[in-house]
Chain A
């Protein structure tokens, strides 16, 4: 099964012969990847089935009868506004990502390049925020939001996420690797810090900005806990929260419609991943401290 691609000359295959251990490894990896991908396969298959056959025995992954109406049902559901959930999630994720790119870039530039009193101390103090798990402060944060009258608004999710110490740290480290000479030259030509940041630094830190954007966007898009705490009104729900609640709205045998709802949210992520695969893997890995 695997022998054909293995001997292709386009691959880096300089041994010239097939090793059993390679075949075994690839075989084992195939089994593992089947396991890793299986929940998605099952989800897609169930989303296209007639409700009654979702749990047919023996299990049938290839639907007997394709039922696209499941998607129609979930998109135009009378009480559960799935498209609304998407828009809400998109709205929040875009605003948070843009906000963080701006605030983190500005702060990172100041910490990396501008001189002011107390710079080092302040930076270390800010870094301690990374050690306080957000979930531990959830109760006082809720009371604070209630005080600001922001419960059940998207602002409760967006405002605390507009700044991010981790993002500042990430971009600062990146800025420090850029040689001073570039900036000195511009400075002597009379460029102020704002112009230097926008015209010289911004193009140079592109990769770091992409990394931050990918991590922040996926994190916000997938967030569940904070929306659960802060939102009450259906119309304001984000996609993960809404689709989880969708389950409560249906009886057990409507699993097919629920799977259609989930597939609709997973599909854009998969598409983005297929296009940006390399960047996304590098980004998530990078933020984990690879370098």
Chain B
């Protein structure tokens, strides 16, 4: 370090500081140039374009024309839109709830006093589905969910239960999409919660035990409150993600039966890329974006009531 100090002193009176700084700034701009260009062309451009397109009629063939709020009026009058936004909200609530409970059970079990070999093994098994494309593995689930030939129903009958019309009943189909999608992604939140559990200081449990807290009391009074920052993160990230659900229902059900399992993004895809009503599709995209923003804002606004920060 002494040598470096000497060099530093020697360089200090060289008077080249200014040109050096200018060279630095130039290099910096060169370094960030690709990122800034990518940001302008592929983020800012589409945002501005989407804002404009929402107020236009455009079908690729004829030039776009300004139509004011027509697309938004159309949305209100659209018979299908209520069902589709309803489905999406159902997915948001159902998936996050199931994911949270499932991930919490896995994380708590993995964090309990079991041999290390099992920990590593189970963590790997629970985590692996994340690495597989949801669209592709949905094809496998398509066969597992089959009403008459599917293996899930075979086991249900074996257990003395009724066959479940997983993908063909409008009442069931959303739940099936939820089960498959959560199965695919649960390992991620499991990891987050596991890390959260491991960060809880053992002294807290010691203190709880001295105060006479049982297993459930210490879970409810220590574990859960200490996990609230992680849970908050899961809720925020989960809502943003599920609002854009596409792959698994697209492959499992194509949105059917009818519109029973269709999501907003699938509807945007249909209106934009099947019907070529790009203005309408962009308008729905804007509303979806506002919905995501609103939900995120509400989550943040209410967070100080229940999220426990150390």
Contacts and interface: CB of A to CB of B under 8 A. Distances in A.
Interface string B131-157: 111111101110110100101001000
A95 interface: no
Interface string B48-69: 1110010000101000000000
B208 interface: no
Contact of B109 (A19, A29, A140, A269): A29
Q: When A and B form their complex, which 4 residue pairs have the shortest distance between CB atoms, in order from nearest? A: A163-B38, A140-B49, A137-B46, A222-B133
B34 A106 contact: yes
B106 interface: yes
B118 interface: yes
Contacts of B183: 36, 39
Given A243-B136, A284-B191, A285-B191, A114 B46 contact: no
Interface residues of A, number: 101
Contact of A126 (B30, B35, B41): B35
Contacts of B286: 136
A165 B10 CA distance: 39
Contacts of B273: 142, 229
Nearest to B292: A133
B35 A115 contact: no
Interface of B: 1, 4, 7-8, 10-11, 21, 23-25, 27-32, 34-39, 41-43, 45-50, 53, 58, 60, 105-106, 109-110, 112-118, 121-137, 139-141, 143-144, 146, 149, 151, 154, 183, 188, 191-192, 195, 233, 237, 240, 243-244, 246-247, 250-251, 265, 268-269, 272-273, 278, 281-282, 285-286, 288-289, 292
A107 B35 contact: yes
Nearest to A188: B7
Contacts of A258: 139
* B-side interface mostly: helix
Contact of A139 (B8, B50, B113, B251): B50
Given A139-B272, A281-B191, A284-B188, A103 B139 contact: no
A59 B250 CA distance: 27
Given A5-B117, A139-B281, A224 B247 contact: yes
* A-side interface mostly: helix
Interface in A211-264: 218, 221-225, 228-229, 239-241, 243-244, 247, 255, 258-259, 262
A146 interface: yes
A43 B29 CA distance: 50
Given A162-B38, A290-B191, A143 B285 contact: no
Contact of A181 (B1, B46, B132): B1
B151 A168 contact: no
A184 B47 contact: no
A5 B131 contact: no
Contacts of A241: 135
26 contacts: A12-B115, A25-B109, A114-B24, A114-B27, A116-B29, A129-B43, A132-B289, A135-B265, A138-B272, A138-B285, A140-B45, A140-B53, A141-B42, A142-B272, A146-B60, A160-B41, A184-B4, A193-B27, A224-B135, A224-B247, A244-B135, A244-B139, A247-B139, A265-B136, A277-B124, A281-B124
